[in-house]
């Protein structure tokens, strides 16, 4: 075994560089090979920047600049060569807007559009100006332009939440109006029917000018006195209606902090769970009062208020009587916290919120998934903040969306669904932070976290169905059926030939982006590249436990775009295995790779199948075995009776109707055989069977028997 | 997940009605008249669906059929000849909270009311229409109706009716937006109930033609179908009617027909004999007019006042400046 190999093995097992050959990874500005192509994001066409469109409460409230430009091009640029110039102009503009946004320029799309147009020389170039003005003429949306920065999660979720709250406020206002109008109608109707409402003065006012002279209002009022004033609204009902009306009118004016109009949204956004919970508890009595008033109003409007049953219920109306749907009209509470502030009482507050039914939407921005554990117990990085989402799912009640900030555009549907969900929701978003990103822009760091399964995306919707299969989804992740996503990696070898490889982007690649952990990596000089070091993807592919014998390396690219092979030590490998385990768990839950829990008793369904055929068999036998009523007994096929009254008109004590108004023989002794035969003859559907006569001495029995023959 | 507080409370106190509580006045139809079967079926439906009498309305035109609202202890509107359907549509728009049933006859619907019939199907408002088709004008004592068979002698056709009878099923199936067409016969009360129940639950204009006997004027016309079960074709399907075992033993002539198949429904309706009984067509996707045109701004007193002010302002006469 050569000395180089020994040094490699030593580094892999211990993490310490023993020879001069291996170089330290830090200071070389290394980044994973697969990220090498994404040096300058402004030269790429991708989802960002986003445009946050105001006044929309659905998915179109968050749009991507590229998608918008594509749509404009579809409208104004014909296919083929004529549209080429327009396409080029517009794409240049898009790139300029992207650069502006990446450099921190803020503002609406129209503002950035104008700025960018000026920068690329639109006023001077008439062709360019022409294309741009045609593009501008297409009806467009406008909104705030945001890039993938560390503030993106807060901006995006606040935008979506604001739109939803405004829509809710409109619905609320409409609902209050409806209840107020209907309750007022009750009081109004009662007034119109009362003596005061039919006084001469009121009658005169209701006729209006012009026709006043035609009526004698005193006489009219006296005539109405005979019917008015009778049956007024009971005092209890009047009081209930008036109280409910008072509460609703007070709330509708929207000055109360608990039920606010659109400009009161700030009272519902908080920076920590403790404050949010405290505010909710403070406002709870007013909320209870409002829900109670609304329930009473609905009952009174439908005329279904029953004092005996409902009075005791409303007397005890407290927070236990208020359900999630009742709160669905009231504003939601939005809480923003950074993962580093989640400890102690804040954590407890978060768990309390997520386990409840209160309409709280919590956004936890995770800036770091690779904290070193407090005790350096040779464990390497542990991703604890990434587990918050899974813990929340375990509570079963909350809508959970876990995502990275790079993926927020694709996840917008889920985010809106979570915000619209009736109960609590948790949005756990990894955005990274400048301190630990090394050279990577926030977008790439977040994307790397998702690709490497360090922070996989998933959604848990408790209302989607009864089981995990319907509630849980991991389809937002790249290549969800694989351990790690595999991409094509192309580079140039010494002979200037193009070589392509299939590279996996693993957890170790992600750790390599973080300068804090540079000590776990060592660069192998070109001269020492040999077959005993293998790409880390194939090392991890084997399902064997750590210590397989091969020494893993990563493809990394330095500041000069030169490919380097970088060894990773054993702690990295263990961390990767742990990460893979957790990812496998998510795959199992999400039904990928067919890891569903095996059925416990496969024999049971067969047993059930055996027993059910027996039941219909016995029932069928019973039906057959049921003795046909002897044709001697008079009877009626009651289910076929058409209620035509023929038989009941003949004798309504012998023939009667059952609960379904179909005839049967109620009392055979209440009539004669003659009446039975007559009824059989007049029955429209011939379902009366007279049977044999009980009294053989009845007059004309022979003739009756002959007549009864066809009906036996 | 959970329901609103008031919905829970309303369910706490639900009233139970029996058949008798829906009985208005004593029916004055001839004994043996098929209208009695329809009345019994409708009362059973109201009882089984627990319809609140103050939330139910029966609308009719003129004819024997149209006496039905008098015999139901619910709201009723006995309107003018041929206009049951437009009145029902108006009720539907003004009071969307009421269950609306329409009782009309072959004359009321297919003769004088023909124009309203076509457009009622097009508008597809959520009403349940029962056409009591006894193939004669009964109340006015025996004149030929559009559905009277050719050759029928009546007071207006003493030498026999010269036209082929109109087929209300094929006409209705030919109208755009049709969403539910079924046929029942009054001598199978179990199927009247099943079909009416399906018609009630269908959201849209449910057109049910009930072939009915008139014991007074046409006592034998339908005897061939009454006495020979094989001349009745029962339409069954998992999406349509399911027939009970007892009924299936008597009426063996059954056909599996998918109610979503419009072309087949039209073919079955045209065939005529054997008489199809069951659900010919059902399409749940047809939109209802009252939902398409729902008025969203709430009619508050302020809104009405604003509207009136705007209109009056158009006619305000401003005093002219005195000419110098």
CA distance A171 to chain B (A): 11
B99-105 and B56-60 strand pairing: parallel
The two structure tokens encoding residue A622: 């019973």
Q: Work out the pLDDT band at A548, boundaries 50, 70, 90.
A: low
pLDDT of residue A625: 43
For chain A, give the longest Cα–Cα distance: 132
Judging contacts by C-beta atoms under 8 Å, the chain A residues touching residue B226 are: 684-685
Judging contacts by C-beta atoms under 8 Å, the chain B residues touching residue A298 are: 4, 6
Residue B112 reports pLDDT greater than 50: yes
Question: Are A443 and A41 within 8 A, CB to CB?
Answer: yes
Please indicate if any CB of chain B lies within 8 Å of the CB of A424: no
Most A CBs within 10 Å: which of B189, B215, B303, as the mutation test of the A interface?
A: B189
Q: Which residue has the higher pLDDT, B119 or A284?
A: B119
Distance CA A299, CA A228 (A): 26
CA distance B128 to chain A (A): 21
Residue A605 reports pLDDT greater than 60: no
Distance CA A201, CA A197 (A): 9
From first CA to last CA, the distance across chain B in angstroms is 77
pLDDT of residue A630: 57
- Output the average pLDDT for chain A: 82
CA distance B7 to chain A (A): 8
Q: Which residue has the higher pLDDT, B131 or A545?
A: B131
Question: Are B57 and B91 within 8 A, CB to CB?
Answer: yes
How many Å separate Cα B77 from the centre of its chain? 14
pLDDT digits (tens, 9 = 90+) for A440-491: 888 988 999 999 998 899 999 998 888 888 899 888 899 988 888 999 888 8
Residue by residue, what is the 3-state secondary structure of A572-605?
HHHHHHHHHHHHHHHHHHCCHHHCCCCCCCCHHH
Contact A639 B190 (CB under 8 A): yes
For the ranges A155-164, A612-621, A632-641, the lowest mean pLDDT is seen at A612-621
From first CA to last CA, the distance across chain A in angstroms is 109
pLDDT of residue A549: 64
In a domain, B171, yes or no: yes
Q: What is the DSSP letter of A519?
A: G
Distance CA A348, CA A274 (A): 9
pLDDT of residue A513: 85
Exposure b/e, A305-315, CB count within 10 A at least 16 = b: beeeebeeebe
Judging contacts by C-beta atoms under 8 Å, the chain B residues touching residue A321 are: 5
Average pLDDT over residues A600-624: 44
Candidates A303, A640, A645; nearest CB to B31: A645
Please indicate if any CB of chain B lies within 8 Å of the CB of A290: no
Q: What is the DSSP letter of B103?
A: E
Exposure b/e, A345-363, CB count within 10 A at least 16 = b: eeeebbeebbebbbbbbbb
pLDDT of residue A615: 41
Q: Which of A507, A515, A506, A340 is nearest to A436 (CA)?
A: A515
Q: Work out the pLDDT band at B322, boundaries 50, 70, 90.
A: low
Q: Could you tell me which residues come within 8 angstroms of residue A504 by beta carbon, excluding any fewer than 6 positions away?
A: A482, A483, A484, A485, A486, A487, A536, A537, A540, A541
In a domain, B308, yes or no: no
CATH of the domain at B135: 3.40.50.970
Distance CA A290, CA A258 (A): 10
CA angle B74, B77, B79 (to 5 degrees): 160
Residue of chain B nearest A182, judged by CA positions? B300
Q: Which residue has the higher pLDDT, A618 or A323?
A: A323
How many Å separate Cα B126 from the centre of its chain? 10
CA neighbours closer than 13 Å in the CB half-sphere of residue A352 = 14
Please indicate if any CB of chain A lies within 8 Å of the CB of B96: no
Residue A530 reports pLDDT greater than 80: no
Please indicate if any CB of chain A lies within 8 Å of the CB of B19: yes
Residue A382 reports pLDDT greater than 80: no
Residue of chain A nearest B246, judged by CA positions? A639
Percent of chain B with pLDDT over 90: 80
CA distance B265 to chain A (A): 27
pLDDT of residue B3: 57
Q: Which of B107, B99, B98, B105 is nearest to B130 (CA)?
A: B105
pLDDT digits (tens, 9 = 90+) for A353-367: 888 888 899 999 888
Judging contacts by C-beta atoms under 8 Å, the chain B residues touching residue A662 are: 40, 189
Most A CBs within 10 Å: which of B2, B97, B251, as the mutation test of the A interface?
A: B2
Distance CA A635, CA B288 (A): 47
In a domain, B13, yes or no: yes
Distance CA B128, CA A350 (A): 53
pLDDT of residue A415: 93
Please indicate if any CB of chain B lies within 8 Å of the CB of A681: no
Task: Count the Cβ atoms, other than its own, within 10 Å of residue B108.
Answer: 32
Q: Which residue has the higher pLDDT, A690 or A622?
A: A690
Q: Work out the pLDDT band at A566, boundaries 50, 70, 90.
A: confident
pLDDT of residue A617: 40
Contact B2 A324 (CB under 8 A): yes
CA distance to A33, A317, A458, A476, per residue, from A480 (Å): 21, 49, 11, 8
Residue A436 reports pLDDT greater than 70: no
Residue of chain A nearest B47, judged by CA positions? A660
| Number of helices and strands in chain B (H, E) | 12, 9
Structurally, how many domains does chain B consist of? 1
- Output the average pLDDT for chain B: 92
Q: Work out the pLDDT band at A527, boundaries 50, 70, 90.
A: confident
* A315-319, A708-712, B78-82 — most confident range: B78-82
Q: Which residue has the higher pLDDT, A527 or A641?
A: A641
Number of residues that this document lists for chain B: 324
Q: Which domain holds residue B238?
A: 5-293
Question: Are B253 and B216 within 8 A, CB to CB?
Answer: no
CA distance to A255, A659, A664, B35, B187, per residue, from A640 (Å): 66, 14, 11, 15, 8
Please indicate if any CB of chain A lies within 8 Å of the CB of B43: yes
| Number of helices and strands in chain A (H, E) | 24, 22
Distance CA A189, CA A191 (A): 5
pLDDT of residue B278: 96
Q: Which of A520, A580, A514, A523 is nearest to A546 (CA)?
A: A580
Give the three-class secondary structure for B17: coil
Q: What is the DSSP letter of A629?
A: P
In a domain, B253, yes or no: yes
Residue A380 reports pLDDT greater than 80: no
User: Residue A27 class from Cβ within 10 Å (0-12 exposed, 13-18 middle, 19+ buried)?
Assistant: exposed
Residue of chain B nearest A306, judged by CA positions? B13
Please indicate if any CB of chain B lies within 8 Å of the CB of A643: yes
Q: Which of A642, A679, A651 is nearest to B222 (CA)?
A: A642
Candidates B34, B227, B301; nearest CB to A642: B34
CA distance B203 to chain A (A): 22
Residue of chain B nearest A320, judged by CA positions? B5
Contact A299 B37 (CB under 8 A): no
pLDDT digits (tens, 9 = 90+) for A514-523: 888 888 888 8
Q: Which of A58, A13, A4 is nearest to A419 (CA)?
A: A58
In a domain, B315, yes or no: no
Please indicate if any CB of chain A lies within 8 Å of the CB of B132: no
In a domain, B321, yes or no: no
Average pLDDT over residues A107-130: 86
In a domain, B300, yes or no: no
Q: Which residue has the higher pLDDT, B284 or B323?
A: B284
CA distance A623 to chain B (A): 10
Distance CA B322, CA B320 (A): 6
Question: Are A12 and A104 within 8 A, CB to CB?
Answer: no
Residue A535 reports pLDDT greater than 60: yes
Residue A260 reports pLDDT greater than 50: no
Please indicate if any CB of chain A lies within 8 Å of the CB of B40: yes
pLDDT digits (tens, 9 = 90+) for B258-269: 999 999 999 999
In a domain, B149, yes or no: yes
Q: Which of A155, A577, A87, A575 is nearest to A365 (CA)?
A: A155
Distance CA A289, CA A246 (A): 11
Residue A273 reports pLDDT greater than 90: no
């Amino acid at each position: 075994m050569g000395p180089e190999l020994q040094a490699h093995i030593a580094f892999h097992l211990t993490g310490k560089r023993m020879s001069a050959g291996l170089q330290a990874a830090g200071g070389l500005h290394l980044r994973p090979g697969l990220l090498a192509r994404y040096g300058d994001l402004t030269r790429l066409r991708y989802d960002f920047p986003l445009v946050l469109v105001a006044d929309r409460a659905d998915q179109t409230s968050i749009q991507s600049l590229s998608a918008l430009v594509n749509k404009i091009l579809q409208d104004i640029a014909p296919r083929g060569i004529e549209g080429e110039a327009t396409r080029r102009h517009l794409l240049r503009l898009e790139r300029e807007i992207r650069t502006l946004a990446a450099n921190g320029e803020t503002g609406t799309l129209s503002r950035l559009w104008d700025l960018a147009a000026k920068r690329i020389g639109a006023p001077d170039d008439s062709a360019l100006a022409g294309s741009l003005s045609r593009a501008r003429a297409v009806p467009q949306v406008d909104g705030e332009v945001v890039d993938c920065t560390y503030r993106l999660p807060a901006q995006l979720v606040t935008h979506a939440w604001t739109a939803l709250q405004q829509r809710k406020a409109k619905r609320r206002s409409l609902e209050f109006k409806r209840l107020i109008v209907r309750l007022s109608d009750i009081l109004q109707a009662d007034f119109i029917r009362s003596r005061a409402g039919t006084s001469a003065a009121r009658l005169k006012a209701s006729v209006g000018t012009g026709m006043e002279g035609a009526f004698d209002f005193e006489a009219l009022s006296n005539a109405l006195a005979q019917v008015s004033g009778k049956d007024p609204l009971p005092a209890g009902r009047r009081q209930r209606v008036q109280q409910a009306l008072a509460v609703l009118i007070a709330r509708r004016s929207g000055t109360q902090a608990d039920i606010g109009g659109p400009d009161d949204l700030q009272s519902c956004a908080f920076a920590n769970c403790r404050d949010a919970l405290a505010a909710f508890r403070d406002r709870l009595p007013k909320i209870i009062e409002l829900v109670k008033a609304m329930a009473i109003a609905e009952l009174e409007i439908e005329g279904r208020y029953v004092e005996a049953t409902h009075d005791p219920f409303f007397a005890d109306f407290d927070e236990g009587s208020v359900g999630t749907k009742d709160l669905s009209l009231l504003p939601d509470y939005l809480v923003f916290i950074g993962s580093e502030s989640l400890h102690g009482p804040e954590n407890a507050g978060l768990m309390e919120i997520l386990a409840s039914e209160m309409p709280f939407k919590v956004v936890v921005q995770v800036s770091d998934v690779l904290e070193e554990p407090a005790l350096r117990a040779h464990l390497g990085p542990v991703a604890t903040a990434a587990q918050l989402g899974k813990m929340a799912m375990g509570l079963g009640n909350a809508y959970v969306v876990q995502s990275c900030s790079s993926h927020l555009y694709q996840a917008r549907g889920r985010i809106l669904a979570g915000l619209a969900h009736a109960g609590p929701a948790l949005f756990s978003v990894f955005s990274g932070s400048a301190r630990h990103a090394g050279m990577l822009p926030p977008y790439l760091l977040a994307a790397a976290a998702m690709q490497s399964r360090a922070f996989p995306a998933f959604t848990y919707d408790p209302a989607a169905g009864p089981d995990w299969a319907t509630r849980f989804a991991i389809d937002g992740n790249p290549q969800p059926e694989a351990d790690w996503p595999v991409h094509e990696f192309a580079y140039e070898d010494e002979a200037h030939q193009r070589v392509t490889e299939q590279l996996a982007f693993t957890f170790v690649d992600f750790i390599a982006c973080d300068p804090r952990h540079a000590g776990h990596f060592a660069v192998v000089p070109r001269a020492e590249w040999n077959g005993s070091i293998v790409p880390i993807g194939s090392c991890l592919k084997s399902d064997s436990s750590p210590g397989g014998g091969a020494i893993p390396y990563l493809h990394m690219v330095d500041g000069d775009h030169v490919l380097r092979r970088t060894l990773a030590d054993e702690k990295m490998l263990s961390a990767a295995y742990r990460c893979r385990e957790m990812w496998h768990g998510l795959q199992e839950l999400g039904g990928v790779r067919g890891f569903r829990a095996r059925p416990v008793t496969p024999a049971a369904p067969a047993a059930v199948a055996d027993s059910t055929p027996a039941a219909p068999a016995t029932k069928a036998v019973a039906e057959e075995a049921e003795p046909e009523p002897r044709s001697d007994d008079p009877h009626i096929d009651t289910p076929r009776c058409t209620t035509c009254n023929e038989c009941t008109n003949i004798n309504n004590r012998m023939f009667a109707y059952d609960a379904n108004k179909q005839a049967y023989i109620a009392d055979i002794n209440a009539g004669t055989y003659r009446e039975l035969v007559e009824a059989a003859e007049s029955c429209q559907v011939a379902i009366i069977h007279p049977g044999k006569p009980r009294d053989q001495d009845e007059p004309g029995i022979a003739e009756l028997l002959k007549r009864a023959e066809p009906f036996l | 997940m959970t329901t609103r507080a008031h919905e829970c409370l309303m369910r706490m106190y639900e009233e139970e009605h029996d058949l008798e509580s829906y009985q208005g006045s004593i029916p004055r139809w001839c004994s043996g008249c098929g209208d009695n079967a329809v009345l019994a079926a409708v009362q059973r439906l109201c009882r089984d669906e627990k319809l609140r009498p103050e939330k139910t309305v029966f609308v009719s035109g003129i004819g024997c059929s149209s006496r039905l609202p008098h015999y139901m202890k619910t709201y009723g509107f006995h309107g003018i000849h041929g206009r049951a359907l437009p009145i029902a549509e108006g009720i539907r728009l003004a009071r969307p909270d009421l269950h609306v049933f329409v009782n009309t006859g072959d004359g009321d619907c297919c003769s004088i009311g023909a124009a309203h019939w076509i457009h009622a199907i097009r508008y597809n408002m959520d009403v349940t229409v029962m056409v009591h088709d006894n193939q004669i004008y009964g109340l006015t004592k025996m004149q030929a109706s559009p559905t009277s068979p050719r050759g029928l002698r009546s007071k207006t056709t003493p030498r026999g009716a010269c036209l082929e009878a109109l087929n209300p099923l094929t006409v209705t199936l030919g109208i755009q937006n049709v969403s539910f067409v079924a046929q029942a016969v009054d001598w199978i009360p179990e199927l009247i109930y099943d079909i009416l129940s399906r018609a009630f639950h269908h959201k849209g204009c449910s057109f049910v033609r009930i072939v009915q006997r008139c014991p007074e004027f046409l006592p034998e016309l339908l005897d061939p179908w009454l006495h020979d079960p094989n001349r009745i074709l029962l339409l069954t399907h998992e999406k349509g009617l399911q027939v009970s075992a007892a009924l299936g033993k008597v009426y063996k002539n059954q056909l599996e027909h998918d109610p979503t198949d419009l072309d087949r429904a039209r073919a079955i309706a045209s065939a005529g004999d054997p008489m199809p009984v069951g659900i010919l067509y059902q399409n749940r996707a047809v939109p209802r007019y009252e939902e398409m045109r729902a008025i969203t701004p709430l009619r508050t007193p302020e809104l009405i006042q604003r509207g009136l002010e705007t209109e009056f302002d158009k006619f305000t006469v401003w005093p002219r400046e005195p000419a110098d």
